[in-house]
Amino acid sequence: MEMGDVIIIGSGVAALQLATMLSHDKNVKILTKSHIKNANSYLAQGGIAAAIGDHDDTKKHLADTLQAGRFHNNEESVREILNEAPALISDFYEIFDKDQHGHLLLGQEGAHSVNRIVHSGGDATGKHIIEHLISKLTDNIEVEENMFAYELMIDHKQQRCVGVKAKDQRGITRYFYGDYVILATGGCGQLYPITSNAPTVTGDGIAMAYLAGAEIADMEFIQFHPTLLFKDGEAKGLISEAVRGEGAILVTGDGVPIMEGIHPLKDLAPRHVVSQTIYNYIENGHEVYLDIRSIKNFGKRFPSITANCEKNGIDLSEGKIPVVPGSHFLMGGIKTDLMGRTSIHGLFAIGEVACTGLHGANRLASNSLLEGLYQGKKLSQWINANFKKHSILDLPEPCPSISTKRGSLPDVRVLKEMMMKRVGIVRSKELLEEQKHWLDQFHLYDVTHLDAYSVQDITRIFMYITASLITEAALCRTESRGGHFRSDFPFEDDQNWYKKIIIQKRKGEVAIKYEQIEAALVN
Ligand SMILES: Cc1cc2nc3c(=O)[nH]c(=O)nc-3n(C[C@H](O)[C@H](O)[C@H](O)COP(=O)(O)OP(=O)(O)OC[C@H]3O[C@@H](n4cnc5c(N)ncnc54)[C@H](O)[C@@H]3O)c2cc1C
C-alpha cells in the first residue's frame, strides 16, 4: 500500500502542468502506463491558440471557439479559459518560436479568423512543452512508469475516491491511496483503426470513471482529423492543419480542388466539414492529397512533418502528400467543472479526459493543449490553497485474488473496424443499432472486479466500455452537430437538441439524462 498527497494518473500536458505547479511540500505520485513521453501531448504539432496578435482579442477567439463548437459549448468555461490563454502562453514564452525582434510567430489553423497559434520548433510544440515540463519535475514528485491504473477505490462511507489500483510491469496489483486523485489519461483515439493518437490513448480514464459511477458527457462528439498521412493502407502520423493554414489545398489524384464551393473557408473550414468531404471522396473511389506546392521552404517550416514523410517514402518534391481522415480528439469525457472536479468527491479529471464544455461539439484547433495547461494550473492553485488530509473511514479491502467470471472479450481489431464503419465519420440509426447489438453480446458494461484480468484484457474491457458510451450517446442524439454527423438527421436541431447527453452507471444500470446547454445561441 502506498500513500501520496496527490495521485496523478497519466503524464501528458495536463498531468505534468499540475504536478510541477503543486507546492513542493506535497508528496505527488504520477502513475503512467508506459514511458513518460508516450502521450498525445508529445505528438502535438500545430501549437497553442491565444489572442495575443495585434488584430486579435479574446472576443474573436471566443466567437471562433463557439462557432467551431456549434454553440454546444459552455460559454462561461470558454470565456474563462480563453481569457487566461495569454498568461498561460507567457509562462512558456522562452520555448516558443519568435521573429528576429523577439515577437512570437503566430500561425494560422482551420476555423481561426486570425493568426493566433504559437508554436515551438516549427511543428514540434508538444515535444518541447513536455520536455520543458519534465525538466521542472522536483524531488517531491515520483514518476512510476509502466504502471497501469485500472480501478478507482471509493470509500463508501464518505462517498469519496481515496485511491487507485494499478498493475506494474509484472502484472502485480499495487494500491495507491491519496487525498486527491486525478485522472489525466487523455482521450480515446485508439478506438478507431485510423488515428493520430499515441498507442496509450485507449479511453481508460473514461471507463474507470464510468465504472466508479462518475457522470460522463458528450461522448458522441469525436473529432476526425482530416489529414493523416496515408501510406500502405495505414495512417502514419498527422499532417497538421497549420499546413493548410500556410496555403496547402486538398485535391483529388487529378488535381481537382475538393473544398471549392463546400464552405466559405474552403480548406480551412471546420474539421468536421473537411473530414466529411474527404471521406465522401474516398468512399467514391478517389484518392485525396494535400497539394503543398504553394508553401515556400516547406522543410524549414514543417521539419517534423517533412522527416515523417521522408521516413515513409513520400517524395515531397512532387508537392503532394496522400491523406485520409482519422480519429483525433474527444470533445466529451468525464463531466467536470473548470478546475476538474467530477461528480465523485476526491476525484478530478483534467485535460482531454475531462469535459469542461470548452470544445462544445467540435474542438477549435490548438485549443486543447491550452485546456490542459489551464486545468493543470487551476487545479494546482486550488489544491495548494485548500489542501486537507482526508482520513479513510471505509478502506476498500484489497482483493487481488478474487476470481471473476470471465465474459468473452471483443477482439480489439474487430472492435476498431466496427467503430469506424458504424460509429465513425458518418453515422445512422441503422448502423448505430447494429453496433449496439454487436456490443451487447459481450455483457461487459457492468464489470466490477478487474484484478484477475491481465493489463491487455483490462485494456480491451476499457475500450469496449468507452465504445459503448460513444455508441449509446450517438444513438440518442438524433441530429447532426459538430463532430457527430447522422446521415438520417443531417441538420442541427436547436429546438430539440440544445442539450448535453450525460451517461452514468447507477445501481449497475446505465442511466441517461439530458442537461440544457448554457451558452448563448448565436448562429
Ligand atoms: C498527433 C496529434 C497532434 C496534436 N496537435 C495539437 C496541437 O497542435 N494543439 C493542440 O492544442 N492540441 C493538439 N493535439 C491534441 C492534444 O495533443 C491533446 O488533446 C492533449 O495533448 C491531451 O493531453 P492530456 O494531458 O489530456 O493527455 P495525453 O497527452 O493524451 O496523455 C495521456 C496520458 O495518460 C496515460 N494513461 C492512459 N491510460 C492510463 C492508465 N490506465 N494508467 C496510467 N496511465 C495512463 C498515457 O500513457 C499518457 O501518458 C494533438 C493530438 C495529436 C494526437
What are the tens digits of pLDDT across the range 113-129? Answer: 999 999 999 989 999 99
What are the tens digits of pLDDT across the range 342-378? Answer: 999 999 999 999 999 999 999 999 999 999 999 999 9
CB distance 15 to ligand 1 below 6 Å: yes
CB distance 176 to ligand 1 below 6 Å: no
pLDDT at 446: 62
Ligand 1 atom with the shortest distance to the CA of 238: 1
Q: Mark residue 366 as left, alpha or beta (left: phi above 0; alpha: psi -120 to 50; beta: remaining).
A: left
C-beta neighbour count of 127 within 10 angstroms: 18
pLDDT at 403: 41
CB distance 47 to ligand 1 below 6 Å: yes
Average pLDDT over residues 425-449: 89
Q: Which of 85-99, 223-237, 304-318, 382-396 has the lowest mean pLDDT?
A: 382-396
Residue of 70, 160, 271, 301 marked catalytic: 271
CA 184 to centroid of ligand 1, rounded, Å: 9
Does the active-site annotation cover 271? Answer: yes
Cell, residue 426: 458518418
| Average pLDDT score over the chain | 94
CB distance 369 to ligand 1 below 6 Å: yes
Beta pairing, strands 173-183 & 2-9: parallel
Residue to substitute in 82, 133, 185, 202 for testing ligand 1 pocket (most ligand atoms within 8 angstroms of CB): 185
Cell, residue 511: 442511466
Look at the alpha carbons of 306, 309, 311, 315 in this order and tell me if their dihedral is positive or negative: negative
Ligand 1 atom with the shortest distance to the CA of 42: 29
Higher pLDDT, 96 or 158: 96
Q: What pTM, to 2 d.p., does this model score?
A: 0.94
**Where does the pLDDT of residue 448 fall: very low under 50, low under 70, confident under 90, or very high at 90 and above?**
confident
DSSP SS3 for 59: helix
Q: From atom 9 of ligand 1, which residue's Cα is the shortest distance away? A: 366
CA distance 494 to 486: 15
CB distance 275 to ligand 1 below 6 Å: no
Say yes or no to pLDDT of 523 above 50: no
**Where does the pLDDT of residue 507 fall: very low under 50, low under 70, confident under 90, or very high at 90 and above?**
confident
CA angle 166, 38, 161 (to 5 degrees): 30
pLDDT at 40: 98
What are the tens digits of pLDDT across the range 18-54? Answer: 999 999 999 999 999 999 999 999 999 889 999 999 9
Ligand 1 atom with the shortest distance to the CA of 13: 25
What are the tens digits of pLDDT across the range 70-81? Answer: 999 999 999 999
CA 401 to centroid of ligand 1, rounded, Å: 33
**Where does the pLDDT of residue 402 fall: very low under 50, low under 70, confident under 90, or very high at 90 and above?**
very low
- Exposure on the CB side of residue 481, measured as CA atoms within 13 A: 31
Average pLDDT over residues 151-158: 92
Higher pLDDT, 400 or 59: 59
Average pLDDT over residues 427-448: 89
pLDDT at 50: 97
Say yes or no to pLDDT of 405 above 80: no
380: enclosing H helix or E strand: helix 368-386
